[in-house]
């Protein structure tokens, strides 16, 4: 290692200076020479020579050099001056190690280092070894990363080959994650004395916990009015439950993963955390697929959490009244209301509806039966419409339409339409005012009242079917007119085929053909329905009206197209159709 500093020993000061100029191959004026022996009269004389100016020497880093003499190997230390950097002991130790000095006297080295400067013999005489490139390996405390520093060679020293460098990593216990590309770049770029990452551990990857994915809203339901398209707010539509359909996917789950092991650069395994599995929250009226990753509703209704489980109920229960706090109900299933239905509300259910109290001026639509345990105060706005039967204690100024039978104790100024029969029975069993129809029979204690209020009853065909027949006949007439227009279009296309361009002709032809297909199918369906209704209308004469007590003056009884006006009170009678008129005979139906 060629240094700008050197100690020289001679029998005289002049001889020492001559040695310095010869060593540095320069003139005396290019050197700064200090006599550190204390006197130039008594040999031996020790001088310190520095190649440079005194100004540079006043702020210089500490240095060192090895001198190979015939009597041994000497280490020289040169102290820092001014703001210079002190001696790096680790760098000195690395340098001495790389010089491969035989029989190194560590004590002499340590003593010299403690004195910070000077010259000391540290080994016996030997041939100087010129080292080549080398690397210093360092491993992070957590064994997650390893670094290599490439050390420069001495002049004449060789380059470090890749395999030799790789072996040094293995000798340093770096057994995993070696980045061979980074190591090759380090050797190629010659970035001496710079740490570079040459190995990386693999961090363990924890497993992912299984997760439940809810395919319906799990937020707590808050009574919140529905905003309409025009910006207004419907305070009766509050969205208080989560509706579901049969077969609807409710919950799915992702499977937990095991994760992967980690490995330190020393080859030590690092355990990962395994993901935790999660089970589907199976409750009532739900089912899972074969691999138990998805859960579906067995039936339509409402979904709810009970004790951490997902359940589907086809009955929506209201403990109190249906009022502004509950809002309108539109439920795919049955609805049970313990209290009353306050005015202005709408209840829709694909199943049945049970009301424990009174129905005010509200609307109830049911796909099944409707039972109102008290009655309806309709105020000329109330409506109950059921595909099944209807049972209620009384109905006043309301309307009840059933696909099945209707049972009521008292109907007062109301409209009743029963798809099968109407039974006015109970303590009163009366039909007072309004209009009551039934497809088969009407049974009542009394029809009308002592005040002779107009009361109309009709058996045979429901008014809805008469309206349907009228609609179908008008539709058939309209469709026949449309078919005439299509005939005219066909004639036009046949006549103008040569004049029209292909695209226009094809468009008109396809449109006409499609419309003809749709109209033909509709007319066929309507014909079937008209024939069915015609048979029903023709057989409507079999309906009867049974009165156990009195049919009062003012009542009108219609069977098929014939009307019987009650001009005088009639007791205990059955009204029926005979010889194209309505007659009455003693009551044919036993009371029970």
With a pLDDT cut of 70, the percent of the chain lying above it is 94
Q: Using alpha carbons only, what angle is made at residue 176 by residues 173 and 177, rounded to the nearest 5 degrees?
A: 125
pLDDT digits (tens, 9 = 90+) for 296-346: 999 888 888 777 889 888 888 888 999 888 888 888 888 999 999 999 999
* Buried residues in 68-107 as b, exposed as e (16+ CB within 10 A): eeeebbbbbbbbbeeeeeebeeeebeebbebbebeebbee
Structure confidence at residue 588 (pLDDT): 93
Does residue 437 contact residue 453 with C-beta atoms inside 8 Å?
no
Is residue 308 within 8 A of residue 281, CB to CB? The reply is yes
Q: 230: pLDDT confidence band, cut at 50, 70 and 90?
A: low
**Ramachandran area for residue 478 (φ above 0: left; ψ -120 to 50: alpha; else beta):** alpha
Mean predicted lDDT score pLDDT of the chain? 89
- Structure-token pair, residue 473: 């006949």
At 55, list the tokens. 């100004």
Q: What pLDDT is recorded for position 228?
A: 52
Q: Where are the domains of the chain?
A: 5-123, 134-200, 211-313, 329-462+542-586, 465-540
Rounded-to-integer distance, Cα 379 and Cα 286, Å: 43
Question: Which of 137 and 241 is assigned the larger pLDDT?
Answer: 137
CA gap 521, 488 in Å, rounded? 20
Structural tokens at position 265: 């650069």
H-helix or E-strand spanning residue 269 = strand 269-270
Please report, rounded to a whole number, the percentage of residues in the chain having pLDDT higher than 90.
64
Given pLDDT bands bounded at 50, 70 and 90, which one contains residue 561?
A: confident
**Once rounded to an integer, what is the mean pLDDT over residues 174-181?**
95
The Cα 124–Cα 128 span in angstroms is 11
- Summarize pLDDT for 59-112 with one digit per residue, the tens: 999 999 999 999 999 999 999 999 999 999 998 998 999 999 999 999 999 999
Reduce the secondary structure of 74-126 to three states and give it as a string. EEEEECCECCCCCCCHHHHHHHHHHCCCCCCCHHHHHHHHHHCCEEEEEECCC
Q: Which of 111-115, 217-221, 235-239, 460-464 is most confident? A: 111-115
Q: What is the pLDDT of residue 432?
A: 97
Q: Which two tokens stand for residue 212?
A: 């439940």
> In the prediction, which pLDDT does 248 show?
93
Q: Which residues contact 451 (CB under 8 A, 6 or more apart)?
A: none
pLDDT in tens, 248-268: 999 999 999 999 999 999 999
Q: Residue length, the chain?
A: 592
Higher pLDDT among residues 232 and 358, named by residue? 358
Does the pLDDT value for residue 379 go beyond 60?
yes
Spatial separation of the C-alpha atoms in residues 484 and 121, rounded to whole Å: 127
Q: pTM higher than 0.75 for the full model?
A: no
Q: Higher-confidence residue: 582 or 541?
A: 582
Residue 519 has pLDDT above 60, yes or no: yes
User: For residue 223, is pLDDT > 50?
Assistant: no
- What 3-state DSSP class applies to 439? coil
> pLDDT, tens digit, for every residue of 464-505?
677 788 899 999 999 999 999 999 988 888 888 888 888 888
**pLDDT reported for residue 108:** 94
Mean pLDDT value across residues 12-40: 87
């Amino acid at each position: 290692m060629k240094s700008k500093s050197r100690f020289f020993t001679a029998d005289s000061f002049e001889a020492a200076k001559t040695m310095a100029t010869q060593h540095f191959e320069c003139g005396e004026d290019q050197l700064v020479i200090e006599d550190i022996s204390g006197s130039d009269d008594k040999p031996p004389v020790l001088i310190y020579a520095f190649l440079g100016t005194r100004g540079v020497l006043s702020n210089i880093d500490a240095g060192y050099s090895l001198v190979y003499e015939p009597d041994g190997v000497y280490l020289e230390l040169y102290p820092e001056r001014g703001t210079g950097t002190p001696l790096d002991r680790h760098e000195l130790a690395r340098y001495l190690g790389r010089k491969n000095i035989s029989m190194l006297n560590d004590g002499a080295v340590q003593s010299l280092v403690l004195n910070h400067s000077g010259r000391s013999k540290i080994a016996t005489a030997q041939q100087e070894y010129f080292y080549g490139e080398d690397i210093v390996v360092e491993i992070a405390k957590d064994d997650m990363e390893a670094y290599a520093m490439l050390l420069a060679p001495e002049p004449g020293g060789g380059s470090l080959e890749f395999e030799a460098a790789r072996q040094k990593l293995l000798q340093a216990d770096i057994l995993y994650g070696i980045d061979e590309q980074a190591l090759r770049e380090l050797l190629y770029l010659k970035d001496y004395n710079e740490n570079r990452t040459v190995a990386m551990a693999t961090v363990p990857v924890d497993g992912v916990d299984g997760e439940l994915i809810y395919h319906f809203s799990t937020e707590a339901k808050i009574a919140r009015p529905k905003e309409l398209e025009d910006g207004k707010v419907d305070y009766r539509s509050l969205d208080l439950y989560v509706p579901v359909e049969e077969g609807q996917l409710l919950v799915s789950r992702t499977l937990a993963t095991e994760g992967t092991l980690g490995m330190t650069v020393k080859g030590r395994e690092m355990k990962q955390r395994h993901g935790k599995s999660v089970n589907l929250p199976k409750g009532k009226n739900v089912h899972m697929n074969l691999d138990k990753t998805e859960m579906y509703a067995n039936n339509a209704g409402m979904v709810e959490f009970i004790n951490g489980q997902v359940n589907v109920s086809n009955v929506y229960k209201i403990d109190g009244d249906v009022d502004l706090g509950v809002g309108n109900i539109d439920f795919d299933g049955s609805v049970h209301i313990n209290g009353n239905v306050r005015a202005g509300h709408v209840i829709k259910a694909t199943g049945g509806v049970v009301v424990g109290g009174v129905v005010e001026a509200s609307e109830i639509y049911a796909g099944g039966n409707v039972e109102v345990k008290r009655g309806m105060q309709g105020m000329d706005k109330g409506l109950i419409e059921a595909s099944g039967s209807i049972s209620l204690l009384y109905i006043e100024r309301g309307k009840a339409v059933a696909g099945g039978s209707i049972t009521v104790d008292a109907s007062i100024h109301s409209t009743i339409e029963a798809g099968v029969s109407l039974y006015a029975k109970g303590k009163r069993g009366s039909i007072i005012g309004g209009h009551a129809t039934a497809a088969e029979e009407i049974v009542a204690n009394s029809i009308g009242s002592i005040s002779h209020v107009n009361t109309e009853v009709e058996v045979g065909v429901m008014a809805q079917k008469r309206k349907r027949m009228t609609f179908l006949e008008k539709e058939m007439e309209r469709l026949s007119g449309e078919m005439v227009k299509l005939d005219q279009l066909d004639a036009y296309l046949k006549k103008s085929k040569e004049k029209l361009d292909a695209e226009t002709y094809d468009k008109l032809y396809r449109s006409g053909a499609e419309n003809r297909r749709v109209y033909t199918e509709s007319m066929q369906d309507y014909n079937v329905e008209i024939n069915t209704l015609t048979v029903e209308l023709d057989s409507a004469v079999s309906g009867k009206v049974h009165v156990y007590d009195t049919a009062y003056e003012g009542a009108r009884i219609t069977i098929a197209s014939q009307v019987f006006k009650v001009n005088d009170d009639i007791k205990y009678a059955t009204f029926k159709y005979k010889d194209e008129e309505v007659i009455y005979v003693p009551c044919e139906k036993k009371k029970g």
